[in-house]
Amino acid sequence: MFFMFLALCLMLAIRPETASAAGGSISVNGTDILSAADHQVSCGSGTAAYDPDTKVLRLDDAVIGSTAGSAVQYGVEITEPGVTVELIGENTINAHYGIWSEHPLTIKGTNGGRLSINTAPSSSLPKFSCAGIHVRGGGLTIRDTELQLAIGEMSDASAYGIESWGSDNLISNSKIKIAMNSLADPDMKCIGINMSGADSLTVTNNSSITMESLDTGISFYGNLNISGSSLTIKESAMHGVVAGKTEISGGSVLDISAQDGQALQAAGKKITISDSSATLVSTGTNGIFCNDLEIIDSSKVDVKGYWPALFVDNNTVIRDSSVDAVTTNDVGIFCKGPAEITDSEVKAVSGQNKSGLRILGDLAIKDSDITSSGDANNNSISAAGSISITGGTTEIGEGGIASEKNIHIGGVILSNGAPSYDNIQNGSDDVTFSEADYSAVDAAVKKAEALKKEDYTNFETVEEAVQAVVRGKLFWDQDVVDGYAAAIEAALAALNPVPPTEQISYEITEGADQTVIKNGDSSVTIRVNGDFDKFVSVSIDDSEVAEEHYTAVSGSTIITFKPEYIQTLTAGTHRVKIHYTDGLAQTSLTLQADEDTEEPPVDPDGDPSDKPDEDPSDQPDNDPSDQPDNDPSDKPDNKPSGTPDDKPSDKPDDNPSVDPGDQPSSNPSDKPTNAPDKKPSSQTPNTNAANQKAPKTGDDLPTIWLLALAFSYVMIRRSRRSGEVEN
């Protein structure tokens, strides 16, 4: 380090005075272009021109420096802030420093413009580090161009292909090739891209970077982002990439090999590889070394190391990706924290038959195919925490699965290709296994339960398939469980519907179209000529009647509805159906409320027995014409109100329904005869007016006789009652 510091002091001491000139300067091949005529300098067969308005230094087929060596210290030296170097055509710089800038710098190509920088030590110059491109203030942008940086053999000083000491740096849509000569010296380094103190380096937009014959490819502690680009580092003597937080994404491709150091190191930060591929090899230590690792989104990572190919200080996540981790002298994948592998294919192999996977936290493997090496003395998969393996297939060779906590197995475990669950152990002997998935069986059974057996001729095949299902099988019998579902589905597909038959209309032989009074005591019986063996059910108004509400007996079929059920039906007409397996019988049943019973019509022949008397409340219970006139015991007990027992009152009684002119005489000899001798009462018998027709013209005489006959009957009955009261 002392030699590097001394070299830096010498470099600053011998820099041209233009470096400190007020307002900055731009020197090309040792000439101040700001002072040159038209701000233009000849450079071999090409030119260098500067536009002070746009601050663009244009190199057009320029050749800068000596073609025989690198005696020129600075090919292009810039102390003016905000300068852009534009490349047109083929440009070449031979110098100790190809381009040196005090401030942030942009290098861009136009119409395919390119630049080759050749750097090598010179005996005429002091011995200090050299670089193809050096940006002292940081903030380097390279875009739309092609750079080729060749560093000659260095014996006692460090060399850098690209060096930027701070800020954010960008390489976009560019091709960069860096060829160096490794020193393999702890104090002197050949580094392809060195960004000491930089915040970030982003390589994007189909860029490609290739490095070879160096000590370290990329070195800095800021964020490294490679998106949609490629990075190739061949056989770096020490590290491939050493950076802070590292993100590889967008279909990027990494091919890095290192010897004594890691191929990819994140210096205590996280590495994320997403939708990209990476081949990372270290012959001396780890392929990947980081604090947290995430390999996701269809990435493919092949990593090899002398020590654990993957060494992660904290969390590891491998999801929807492929990882092949091989170590020559240790475990394949080592993680100090929890590890999650989901929907992935992972191969973790140790050349010494040590564990393929060694996790100090919890390990969760889901729906993944795992190959993990091990032998009888070394478990293939081991964890200090719990282990859960669900779905997928895990090959453990001669080794076993061990955990210091719980183990749950729900995926296929293979030992040299054969299923094996005997070599699983943990400290508490708490090993559980998942049950098989019966979801397909349940779906098939649900289909079967939705069908009616009587609708098919061979439904018993479905019943047999359902009954063959054995519940509670474990996941390794999943193929058997799937077979249950397949058998049920096959039986359902082979069902033969019952052929449609012509429905028979059976005849109601007794009890058709009945009318019944709802009095709580009435039952209803209907006889049908259908075969009782084919009887199925009874419905009223298309609603099936529960069996407890009726009886059904043979002969041919006799249905009797119970009175208490009849009482629940509403008044009116109902449709009754008696169902058979091959037909039905139909009829109606009319229910009439008790109070709706109609009075019988008056007999036109004048039969008093068929005609109503006066209001029943005014008549005795028994017909007086059937009793002796002089038997007081047969006389009604009711006497007119307010009169003595032996003599009727001379005043009419208080019954407003009786005309005063109808009051009986007090003389017993005035007993009424069969013909009335008094004016008829205004009350008339209650006849059924609905059953009578209006008289026609010329029909008056029969009508008069009919009315007279009715009147006579009423008067005779009243006379009899009056006489009985007098007696």
The string of pLDDT tens digits covering residues 516-527 is 988 878 889 999
Tell me, what's the pLDDT at 656? 36
Tell me, what's the pLDDT at 632? 35
Establish how many alpha carbons lie within 13 A of residue 627's alpha carbon, considering only the half-sphere containing its beta carbon: 18
Copy the structure tokens of residue 637. 């007990």
State the pLDDT confidence band at 722, using cuts at 50, 70 and 90: very low
Summarize the confidence of residues 524-535 as an average pLDDT. 94
State the pLDDT confidence band at 185, using cuts at 50, 70 and 90: low
State the pLDDT confidence band at 535, using cuts at 50, 70 and 90: very high
State the pLDDT confidence band at 582, using cuts at 50, 70 and 90: confident
Cβ pair 461, 491 in contact under 8 A:
yes
Tell me, what's the pLDDT at 595? 62
Quick check: 727 pLDDT over 80? no
Tell me, what's the pLDDT at 473? 95
Q: Quickly list H helices, 431-511.
A: 439-449, 460-467, 478-493
Burial 78-91 (b: 16+ CB within 10 A, else e): bbbeebebbbbbbb
**Helical axes 439-449 vs 460-467, angle rounded to 10°:** 150
Name which residue leads in pLDDT, 370 or 129: 370
Instruction: For the chain, give the percent of residues with pLDDT over 70.
Output: 75
Residue 291 main-chain phi, psi, to 5 deg: -85, -45
Tell me, what's the pLDDT at 709? 58
State the pLDDT confidence band at 158, using cuts at 50, 70 and 90: confident
Tell me, what's the pLDDT at 288? 98
Copy the structure tokens of residue 723. 């006489």
The string of pLDDT tens digits covering residues 259-317 is 999 999 998 899 999 999 999 999 999 999 999 999 999 999 999 999 999 999 999 99
Summarize the confidence of residues 315-325 as an average pLDDT. 98
Tell me, what's the pLDDT at 427? 66
Tell me, what's the pLDDT at 432? 92
Instruction: For the chain, give the percent of residues with pLDDT over 90.
Output: 65
Tell me, what's the pLDDT at 610? 42
Among 248-257, 493-502, 529-538, 709-718, the range of highest mean pLDDT: 248-257
Contacts of 154 (CB under 8 A, 6+ apart): 121, 130, 181, 183, 188, 190
Nearest to 577 by CA among 501, 505, 500: 505
State the pLDDT confidence band at 502, using cuts at 50, 70 and 90: confident
Tell me, what's the pLDDT at 300? 98
Copy the structure tokens of residue 414. 């293979």
Summarize the confidence of residues 51-78 as an average pLDDT. 87
Of the listed ranges 396-400, 511-515, 594-598, the least confidently predicted one is: 594-598
Cβ pair 395, 418 in contact under 8 A:
no
Contacts of 280 (CB under 8 A, 6+ apart): 240, 254, 256, 263, 264, 287, 288, 301, 302, 303, 304
Domains contained in the chain, CATH given: 1-232 (no CATH), 439-493 (no CATH), 504-595 (2.60.40.10), 603-726 (no CATH)
d(CA 175, CA 435): 56
pLDDT averaged over every residue in the chain = 82
d(CA 405, CA 123): 67
Of the listed ranges 195-204, 282-291, 647-656, the least confidently predicted one is: 647-656
Supply the DSSP symbol for 489: H
Quick check: 550 pLDDT over 80? yes
Summarize the confidence of residues 96-111 as an average pLDDT. 96
DSSP string, 16-68: -GGGGSTT--EEETTEETTTSGGGEEEETTEEEEEETTTTEEEEES-EEE-SS
State the pLDDT confidence band at 600, using cuts at 50, 70 and 90: very low
Summarize the confidence of residues 688-700 as an average pLDDT. 39
Quick check: 479 pLDDT over 80? yes
The string of pLDDT tens digits covering residues 13-55 is 334 333 333 468 999 999 999 999 999 999 999 999 999 999 9
Quick check: 375 pLDDT over 60? yes
Quick check: 649 pLDDT over 50? no
d(CA 136, CA 102): 5
Copy the structure tokens of residue 128. 């200090």
Quick check: 691 pLDDT over 70? no
* Identity of the amino acid at 58: R
The string of pLDDT tens digits covering residues 450-478 is 999 999 999 999 999 999 999 999 999 99
Summarize the confidence of residues 179-206 as an average pLDDT. 85
Quick check: 614 pLDDT over 90? no
Nearest to 254 by CA among 238, 275, 233: 233
State the pLDDT confidence band at 188, using cuts at 50, 70 and 90: low
Quick check: 207 pLDDT over 80? yes
State the pLDDT confidence band at 494, using cuts at 50, 70 and 90: very high
d(CA 343, CA 295): 12
Total-model pTM: 0.66
d(CA 54, CA 35): 17
